[in-house]
Structure 1
Amino acid sequence: MHTTLLSLFAFTALSTARPNVYFIRHGEKPQHGGIGLSDDGLERAECIRDIFGSHSGYDIGYIMAQKPKKSGKRNRPYETVRPLAEDLDIKVDISCNRDDPKCVKKRIKKYKGEGNILICWEHHRMTDLVEALGNEDAPEYPDDRFDLIWTISYPYNDITEIVSEKCPGLD
């Protein structure tokens, strides 16, 4: 009986565990404008594949990127995480528009799968996403950085860690 209660408790604790959420900026864009990623951005997408891949400790089970426009604009976040998603056999959720932090919050709260959540977004809007989760003092993502990983742990009201991706040749 005692073992059964412990097993039930362990199962309940595991089933109610909440995932970590990792926010990253999309890869570098072409120097003179344009759609898509630059050569450095494509290199970063490959680095992201290694950083968050199946052999990493990040344990990604769900990936989100802002919804691209039909014109091809705003596709950098999706292009940045696409190689990783293919490796992990995860469909990238692109259902939320760039300017809709409530949609992102709703997706995070609804997620019941295994693993953690990776969100790739335009850096000027990342603060809005973090604030929607409950962090009233969310920092601005620096304009001159592409390499930061923001970690937010449950109850999602604070950034618990900021580290560099440390992509060789880029960071």
Structure 2
Amino acid sequence: MSAPPIPHPITVLLIRHAEKLPWSSGNQPTALQKSEYVDTHILSPKGYERAQALVAYFLHREEILQLLERRPWGAVVAQNVDEVGGWGLSLRPKETVEPLVKALEPHKVPFHLYTKSNLPSLVQLLRSGVYKDKTVLISWAHQQLPDLVKALGVPNDKVPKWNKKRFDVTWVADFDGKGGVEFRQLPQRLLYGDEDGIMEVGKKKE
């Protein structure tokens, strides 16, 4: 069950970290590549390419600029590595937005790091009003993104399961501060192989 919507105006952008598996010419990895894959917890070459491409995307893409014109940057947030024994060891969410964070340094946009186990604290931050009338970008592992937007107040029936094959979608949760929330998905269309479609609600995660 989803929580009540955030009680103040705020726009929350959510992305999955960039690619982690070795991708060849924009194609999905083969079964053999998957079976031999050892997780190094860092981005693949294509992932680093997407991280760089996201700078221009978030600073110059028209649909993003329209959001920022109404609610300017408040903060960038990324999933951080848990302590020893934790259950989130990936550096990828942080690596995905580091080029953007650097580009935003002249604007003094805060950069926050939260671990998977501290997700409730992130929800509390967004609900606190600190970033009222601002836009906050979150880079996270895909498994928790549906639960995160539900915890912010997006209705369950609006939130799809995140397709594990997709690294190329931006979720937008737009809260009006009066109990209303608009949730939509923006295909990024940044790299070869990126899809034009969105993830369908009610469709099983692939």
> TM-score band, normalised by the shorter chain?
0.7 to 0.9
What is the CA–CA distance in structure 1 between the aligned matches of 2:14 and 2:185, rounded to whole Å? 10
Deviation at 1:65, TM superposition (A): 0.7
- 1:113 is displaced (CA, Å) by 6.5
Aligned to 2:77: 64
Q: TM-score, structure 2 length as denominator? A: 0.66
What is the deviation of 1:146? Answer: 0.3
Q: Calculate percent identity across the aligned residue pairs.
A: 26
CA distance in 2, matches of 1:167, 1:130: 24
For 1:170 and 1:100, the matched residues in 2 are separated by 33
Asked if structure 2 preserves the Cα contact closer than 8 Å seen for 1:134 and 1:158, the reply is yes
- RMSD of aligned C-alpha atoms? 2.6
In structure 2, give the amino acid aligned to 1:105: V
The 3-state SS of whatever aligns with 1:19 is strand
Correspondence list, 1:37-52, <5 A: 37-52=43-58
Q: Secondary structure at the match of 2:116?
A: coil
Secondary structure of the 2:9 match is: coil
Structure 1 partner of 2:189: 166
Structure 2: gaps (5+ residues): 1-6, 23-36, 195-206
Matches of 2:155 and 2:133, distance apart in 1: 28
1:36 aligns with 2:42: yes
Is the 2:76–2:101 contact (alpha carbons within 8 Å) kept by the matching residues of 1? yes
CA contact 1:45–1:83 (8 Å) conserved in 2: yes
Alignment pair present for 1:141 and 2:162 = yes
Runs of 5+ unmatched residues, structure 1? 1-15
Tell me the alpha carbon deviations over residues 26-85 of structure 1, each in whole angstroms, 9 at most, x when there is no partner.
Answer: 000134222200001001101111111267504333100112235793210000001000
Report if the CA contact (8 A) 1:101-1:132 is conserved.
Answer: no
For normalisation by structure 1, the TM-score amounts to 0.78
Q: In the alignment, which of 73, 80, 86 is matched to residue 96 of structure 2?
A: 80
> What letter is aligned with 1:167?
L
Distance 1:160 1:104, change over 3 A: same
